[in-house]
Amino acid sequence: MDIYKELNIKTIINAQSWVTKLGGSIMRPEVLDAMNKASSAFVNVEELHEKCSEQIANLCNSESALITSGCASAIVLMSAAVICAKDESLIDEIPNIINRPEILIDSNARNHYDSAFEMTGAKLVEYKNLDDIKEKVTRKSIAIAFVEAPFLGSGVSINETVNYANEFGLPVIVDASARIPPVSNLYKFTDAGAAMVAYSGGKGVRGPQNTGFILGKKTYVDLAKRNLICFSDSKAKIGRSMKVSKECLVGLTTALKLFIDIDQDTVWRGWKEKAKFIVDELSSIGGLNVKLEDDGVNREGPQAVIYFNDNWEGLDPKQIRLMLESGDPAIYVGTGGYGDEINLAMTNVQEGQEKIIAKKLKDILTK
């Protein structure tokens, strides 16, 4: 880590998960090697985009695919694609559309990132349940957005959403940024009939942190591509500021191949063993309820979760987090969840770091 020493930056222990704020994930050596090789020559980037996206589509059993500069970029491009599917002449007007098209979204799915759907000039319109969709669909409606992420609540399922969308002739576009692993989630949404699905390439896939990709129906993905790759157009499209380098195109393709080939059950068991070690080390501390949680819905991999009982007399969770983050090494843990808990994701905890985390927490919690 000499490069960080040169910059006077301290490295940290990341028990918070694949968050962008902490650098996403760590790329495998094979990915870095492929990116380094890709950097050594010039190519036609448009052709490389096509070839790499084609490989990703084949890997994911998808009709089509497009590599993007992160999942947020993928969401913007999905939004642009459904606008153009309704009226392709609007491609040069995005995002300055006078009569804003509308994308429906479950009120339970509203989140920090959903503004990406509106960066094209589209407007998000909330619905509360299936019956409410009927009331909210208008001539301005162009799609239904579906979001699957931890702790968003139990709204309308993907299958129900697609079935209802089909009744109104609307495509479903999905934000599934952090839903892989498991590998099955690469197929889940397109198999259900979603028009397009956006994923991060820099989380569980362990590709370059600033990559993402879209899977879906060719008609829609082609329109997303038109909004991204516009080298020969007289006017740049909304995706021009979201370009993907040749190194990242190759890096993500390599990472996804490795991700699909690696035994994910073995990876999951490794995370679970680390989480269990922390739980075992802290379980005897009075006033706490320390659990290993692995529900696959609200937890990104097996996690050690610390709940604070009413008889807890120590520091509050905020104070504990501050002490962890100000230590050496600094340790970042998860927030939110089912209350004011401390959750520890093992997805980015390197070998042996679970022991450092457990010791530091025990020191803080037993003061």
pLDDT in tens, 245-296: 999 999 999 999 999 999 999 999 999 999 999 999 999 999 999 999 988 7
C-beta of residue 79 within 8 angstroms of C-beta of residue 117: yes
Has residue 91 got a pLDDT over 90? yes
Has residue 180 got a pLDDT over 70? yes
Mean pLDDT, range 316-342, rounded to an integer: 92
What is the predicted pLDDT for the residue at 215? 98
Q: How far apart are CA 76 and CA 65, in angstroms?
A: 15
Fill in the amino acid letter for 271.
W
C-beta of residue 206 within 8 angstroms of C-beta of residue 227: no
What is the predicted pLDDT for the residue at 225? 97
Domains 2-21+264-365 and 42-261 share a fold: no
CATH of 2-21+264-365, one of 3.90.1150.180, 3.55.10.10, 3.50.50.60, 3.40.50.740: 3.90.1150.180
Where along the chain do its domains lie? 2-21+264-365, 42-261
pLDDT in tens, 203-230: 999 999 999 999 999 999 999 999 999 9
What is the predicted pLDDT for the residue at 335? 84
What is the predicted pLDDT for the residue at 158? 93
pLDDT in tens, 25-47: 999 999 999 999 999 999 999 99
Number of H helices, E strands in the chain: 12, 12
- Average confidence score pLDDT of the chain: 94
Mean pLDDT, range 315-320, rounded to an integer: 94
What is the predicted pLDDT for the residue at 1? 56
Q: How far apart are CA 151 and CA 336, in angstroms?
A: 9
Higher-scoring residue by pLDDT: 280, 148 = 280
Site of tokens 């739980």: 279
> What is the percent of the chain where pLDDT is above 90?
86
Mean pLDDT, range 331-359, rounded to an integer: 93
**Stated pTM of the model:** 0.94
Report the topology of domain 42-261: Aspartate Aminotransferase; domain 2 (3.40.640)
Q: How far apart are CA 22 and CA 329, in angstroms?
A: 14
Tell me which residue of 320, 325, 312, 332 sits closest to 364, measured CA to CA. Answer: 320
What is the predicted pLDDT for the residue at 333? 96
What is the predicted pLDDT for the residue at 45? 96
* φ, ψ at 251 (rounded to 5°): -60, -45
Q: How confident is the model at residue 164 (pLDDT cuts 50, 70, 90)?
A: very high
pLDDT in tens, 95-143: 999 999 999 999 988 988 999 999 999 999 999 988 899 899 999 999 9
What is the predicted pLDDT for the residue at 221? 98
User: How large is the angle between the packed helices 353-365 and 317-325, nearest 10 degrees?
Assistant: 130
What is the predicted pLDDT for the residue at 298? 81
What is the predicted pLDDT for the residue at 250? 98
Higher-scoring residue by pLDDT: 201, 335 = 201
- Of 189-193, 247-251, 299-303, the range with the lowest mean pLDDT is 299-303
